[in-house]
Amino acid sequence: MAQNMLPTETQILIVGAGPTGLAAAISLICNGVEPYNITIVDCLEKGANTSRAIGIHAATLEALDTYGCASRLVNLGIKGQAWRVASRSSTIFQANFESNSPYTEYPFVLILEQTATEHVLEERLEELGVEVKRPWRVVGMKDSGDCRGMDVTFESGETVRTKYVIGADGARSAVRQLSGINFADPDGKSIDDSIDDRVAQMVLADVSISLSEEQSAVLASGVSITVSDSGMFVLIPLGKPSVSELLYNSSEAVYRVGFSVPRALGEPPSKPSLEYIQSNLDRQAPFALCSDPKLNPDPVRITKVYWSTRFRTHSALADVFFKRVHGGFVFLVGDAAHVHSPAGGQGMNLGLRDAAGLGPILAEHSIRTRERQKLHASDGRDADPEVDTTALEIYAASRRKRGLDTIRLTKNFLSVINFVLKPRLLNWPLWIMTFFSHISMIKSRLVYRLSGLGNR
Ligand SMILES: Cc1cc2nc3c(=O)[nH]c(=O)nc-3n(C[C@H](O)[C@H](O)[C@H](O)COP(=O)(O)OP(=O)(O)OC[C@H]3O[C@@H](n4cnc5c(N)ncnc54)[C@H](O)[C@@H]3O)c2cc1C
């Protein structure tokens, strides 16, 4: 069979080869599932996905370490040391990941673009003997009619019979919809109202900036969030020159910038231009990054935009992460199961940990099912034997709880940002935040939560 052809039958079908789907395949193989029992498909051609997440936290690196991926990622990225909240002129609050040292061998947030992370995971999967099949789009699921699972259908008309489907197909998951699983804000809000108006629309871009070496060195230490009356601005340096080269063929340092656009200002363009980004940067960024000489005596400018996008954030959680569908089983992981604001950089991390932990449990279930199938076949029986699903159900419920906790964490985080953003006489929210910045227990607790160590 040609590498990219679909099989007529596979034991486990993974739909989606984003970070979560790739990690799920790796964790299954590392836990004993034979590569020929796994098929992973994606509707996009290789490399067609764009840069999105940029931070990998300690708990995720620990989970990936089990599967031989963590050191490769660490070699490519930058060890971000700090999480900084600032006004336009000075730092208000800085929490250092170093305070996680007693709990992890990764006391930093690894700054690495999602495309580079996917590249490392796909390379590892290929080493383990599985290639992603592309471009194949799942459009249907129906009962196989022989009590052996379900038939998954593709846009091009092909059908694959399978026992297990892992839905790793992102926020608009076809697998979730075809399984009839509801996806909604857990606090009962409408999807559009699930995030505060002022930070619900965001623009992200990867850019180069005309910074001196000294200025670059100051910015290289982690994630900086600037809050002002105009909104929220985020700046993150994106890795070593090798990563800039790999992604953008650029020898210059690349920065991820992000800023909120209040709904009152209308919708941002779908691919924001250099001018649009520069004018928002001048409106919201630290003065030291502005191009306006009235604001910055030593003006700096964006010199190149490599990638830019706008998006709206919302929170939603699938009602269940595991469901019997027709004669088979569906498991949702990653964005297919939970989405929330990117504040705190949690989305991809949570998905990677869903996938890393699913491996041992699903591998055991699928191997036992296979053994029983063989026994049944030798007895001349047709229908698949039933293998107890309790472990899968418990795992699914535990991951759902993690999803819910993370939605709450990001909502709380945004509430704090919004609180600081609101213009008030004497700016007392800023004072309160400055006061808290002197309490080291609050700062270490924040980085512990962000790093996922308390929510693996
Ligand atoms: C603009 C933006 C910025 C973000 N920033 C951050 C951040 O800073 N930090 C962070 O942690 N997270 C961030 N996220 C979230 C992060 O990107 C996601 O959490 C992460 O990509 C989820 O991975 P996934 O594998 O679950 O889904 P995805 O990455 O969405 O991958 C799903 C895959 O499934 C494929 N697919 C979809 N439908 C089908 C189908 N029917 N058949 C076959 N294949 C299909 C898609 O092509 C895709 O490759 C951001 C997201 C966006 C949109």
List pLDDT tens digits, range 198-214: 667 889 999 999 988 77
Distance CA(407)–CA(313), nearest Å, equals 12
113 lines ligand 1 (CB under 6 A): no
**How much is the pLDDT for 32?**
97
42 lines ligand 1 (CB under 6 A): yes
- CA distance to 17, 134, 313, 337, per residue, from 247 (Å): 18, 21, 25, 28
Nearest residue by C-alpha to atom 33 in ligand 1? 16
DSSP 95: E
pTM, to two decimals: 0.91
Element (H, E) at 221: none
**How much is the pLDDT for 66?**
93
Name the token pair of 422: 């609101």
**How much is the pLDDT for 405?**
92
Name the token pair of 184: 């909604």
Nearest residue by C-alpha to atom 30 in ligand 1? 170
**How much is the pLDDT for 241?**
65
Distance, C-alpha 200 to centroid of its chain: 18
CA 63 – ligand 1 centroid, Å:
19
Distance CA(261)–CA(233), nearest Å, equals 10
Mean pLDDT of 60-72: 96
Nearest residue by C-alpha to atom 52 in ligand 1? 52
Report which ligand 1 atom has the smallest distance to the Cα of 19. 25
Distance, C-alpha 125 to centroid of its chain: 19
**How much is the pLDDT for 141?**
97
- How does residue 153 score in pLDDT terms, banded at 50, 70 and 90? very high
Within 13 A of 361's CA, how many CA atoms are on the CB side? 20
**Contacts of 190 by beta carbon, 8 Å cutoff, 6+ apart:** none
- How does residue 92 score in pLDDT terms, banded at 50, 70 and 90? confident
Task: Provide the residue count of the chain.
Answer: 456
Cβ–Cβ < 8 Å for 188, 244: no
348 lines ligand 1 (CB under 6 A): yes
Name the token pair of 187: 């606090």
**How much is the pLDDT for 244?**
66
Nearest residue by C-alpha to atom 27 in ligand 1? 170
The per-residue pLDDT of the chain, averaged, comes to: 87
- How does residue 95 score in pLDDT terms, banded at 50, 70 and 90? confident
Distance CA(298)–CA(292), nearest Å, equals 9
342 lines ligand 1 (CB under 6 A): yes
- How does residue 432 score in pLDDT terms, banded at 50, 70 and 90? low
CA 342 – ligand 1 centroid, Å:
12
Instruction: Give buried/exposed letters for 260-291 (b at 16+ CB in 10 A, else e).
Output: bbeeeeeebeeebeeebbbebbbbbbbbbbbb
Name the token pair of 362: 């699903």
Lowest mean pLDDT among 56-60, 191-195, 370-374: 191-195
Cβ–Cβ < 8 Å for 415, 68: no
Cβ–Cβ < 8 Å for 220, 287: no
CA 230 – ligand 1 centroid, Å:
29
CA 34 – ligand 1 centroid, Å:
26
Is 328's pLDDT higher than 90?
A: yes
Is 415's pLDDT higher than 80?
A: no
Report which ligand 1 atom has the smallest distance to the Cα of 154. 42
Query: In the chain, pLDDT over 70 holds for what percent of residues?
Result: 87
Q: Using one digit for the tens of pLDDT, what is the confidence trace for 250-307? A: 788 888 999 988 878 888 999 999 999 999 999 999 998 999 999 999 899 999 999 9
> Which tops the pLDDT comparison, 84 or 426?
84
**How much is the pLDDT for 445?**
80
**How much is the pLDDT for 155?**
97
**How much is the pLDDT for 152?**
98
Q: Using one digit for the tens of pLDDT, what is the confidence trace for 315-325? A: 899 999 999 99
403 lines ligand 1 (CB under 6 A): no
168 lines ligand 1 (CB under 6 A): yes
Distance CA(434)–CA(436), nearest Å, equals 5
Pocket test for ligand 1, best of 169, 314, 331 (most atoms within 8 A of CB): 169
**How much is the pLDDT for 4?**
85
434 lines ligand 1 (CB under 6 A): no
Cα angle 418, 421, 426; round to 5? 130
Is 2's pLDDT higher than 60?
A: no
Report which ligand 1 atom has the smallest distance to the Cα of 309. 1
